[in-house]
Amino acid sequence: MNKKISMIGVPMDLGQNRRGVDMGPSAIRYAGAIERLQELNYDIHDLGDISINRPDQKINYNDGTNLKNLQQVIEANEELAKMVDEEINKSRFPLILGGDHSIAIGSLAGISKHYENLGVIWYDAHGDLNTGETSPSGNIHGMPLAVSLGIGHEKLTNTFGYGQKVKPENIVIIGARSLDPGERELIREKGIKVFTMHEIDRNGMSYVMEQAINYLQNRTDGVHLSLDLDGLDPTEAPGVGTPVLGGMTYRESHLAMEMLADSDILTSAEFVEVNPILDEKNKTANMAVGLMGSLFGEKLK
Ligand SMILES: NC(=[NH2+])NCCC[C@H](N)C(=O)O
Ligand SMILES: [Mn+2]
Ligand SMILES: [Mn+2]
């Protein structure tokens, strides 16, 4: 793994309804992310947090798009994409801290430019494959994977001045257990590879990760991990805005991270949806940092 990491915080909460997820980056730093990685001999540049332009009033998104806070979400993602792009130009590994999952739009926009075939591991209870048309909530954090496929509102899909960021066959979703009807349709139509909780329960995380890694290794020239903390079970990671029962355990997730570390396929990563207000004594941020430790090679040390 690239030994030079650039950490970027994105205190974004406008992609969903619950306040508090904007404090995710500071909770994750407080849980010791930087020290944990320095311990593993990484050279960390903490670039601090991107500034989020908060709407001064509850803005009316009822403009026919069903996309809440569209303008603010776009602005922040453009900024993020630019920063991520610059760090990759310096041959550094972008490690992005959320913030709600809408920030994956900017991460992938900044990253994908650098690869012919960027792979994406979407570790999440959700598919985040909605559009304004299929979304039951209007929350943009339920849409970033669709947007990155080039599907959705043009202002979102054109982030950083170009369209489709990822090809459907280069995506692997892991841990899905809450998919809306439109998302299921899109998965079927595009043939996206999904390992649901059913596959994890039946075959075990070890088998699932082996499959996922082999699959991506053969077809991609870089892999981004987008890890939504709600992929884990809410009993272990309660500090998330959209918890779904029956998730992956801490142990399973550690194994997944360790197998990714062994494979050495990752070129960027993000940890999103940590909401300290909904958390119990920063448990979820601690979890995120524990997973980072495994992802960046604690076992191999
Ligand atoms: N990144 C997330 N936590 N996404 C949750 C999305 C929930 C639901 N599918 C929606 O579109 O609103
Ligand atoms: Mn989720
Ligand atoms: Mn998500």
0.95 cut: is pTM over it? yes
Task: Give tens-digit pLDDT for 260-275.
Answer: 999 999 999 999 999 9
Burial of 214 (0-12, 13-18, 19+ CB in 10 A): exposed
Residue 60 pLDDT > 60, yes or no?
A: no
From 244, 231, 236, 238, select the one nearest 200 (Cα to Cα). Answer: 231
Q: Which atom of ligand 1 is nearest to the CA of 141?
A: 1
Which amino acid does the sequence have at 94?
P
Contact 156, 179 (CB under 8 A): no
Which tokens sit at 168?
Answer: 């459907």
Query: What is the position in ligand 1's atom list of the atom closest to the CA of 143?
Result: 11
- Strand ranges inside 99-233, DSSP E: 118-123, 171-176, 193-196, 222-228
User: pLDDT value at position 41?
Assistant: 96
Residues within a 6 A CB radius of ligand 1:
101, 126, 128, 130, 135-137, 139, 141-142, 180, 228, 230, 242, 273
- ipTM tops 0.90: yes
Q: What amino acid positions are annotated as catalytic residues?
A: 101, 124, 126, 128, 141, 228, 230, 273
184 exposure class (CB count in 10 Å sphere: 0-12, 13-18, 19+): middle
* Residue 34, both tokens: 């930087």
Q: Which pLDDT score, from 0 to 100, does residue 57 have?
A: 66
Q: Which residues are annotated as a binding site?
A: 101, 124, 126, 128, 228, 230
CB 231 within 8 A of CB 266: no
Distance, CA of 230 to CA of 196 (rounded, Å): 14
The best mutation among 67, 129, 137 to test binding of ligand 1, ranked by most ligand atoms within 8 Å of the C-beta, falls on 137
Which residue's structure tokens are 């495994």? Answer: 294
Domain positions in the chain are: 4-300
- Cβ neighbours, 10 Å, residue 61: 17
Please state whether the peptide bond connecting residue 20 to the residue before it is cis, i.e. omega within 30 degrees of 0: no
Query: Does position 301 have pLDDT exceeding 80, yes or no?
Result: no
For residue 38, what are its two tokens? Answer: 């320095």
Provide the 10 A C-beta neighbour count for residue 265. 19
* Atom number, ligand 1, closest to the C-alpha of residue 16: 12
Q: What is the pLDDT of residues 146-199, one digit of tens each?
A: 999 999 999 999 999 999 999 999 999 999 999 999 999 999 999 999 999 999
Report which protein residue has its CA nearest ligand 1's atom 8. 142
Q: Is the pLDDT of residue 59 over 80?
A: no
Plot region of 175 (φ>0 → left; ψ -120 to 50 → alpha; else → beta): left
Q: What is the third-level CATH fold of 4-300?
A: Arginase; Chain A (3.40.800)
Q: How far is the CA of 127 from the centre of ligand 2 (A)?
A: 7
| Nearest partner of 285 among 4, 23, 6, 8, judged by Cα | 23
Q: Which residues touch 48 (CB under 8 Å, ≥6 apart)?
A: 8, 9
Element (H, E) at 251: helix 250-263
91-105 average pLDDT score:
98
Ligand 1 binding pocket mutation candidate from 139, 227, 275 (most atoms within 8 A of CB): 139
Contact 263/90 with Cβ under 8 angstroms?
Answer: no
Q: Which of 73, 180, 74 is nearest to 137 (CA)?
A: 180
H helices then E strands: how many in the chain? 10, 8
Reply yes or no on whether the pLDDT at 63 is more than 80. no
Residues that constitute the known binding site for Mn(2+)? 101, 124, 126, 128, 228, 230
Element (H, E) at 11: none
Among all ligands shown, which has an atom nearest to the Cα of 125? 2
pLDDT in tens, 206-243: 999 999 999 999 999 999 999 999 999 999 999 999 99
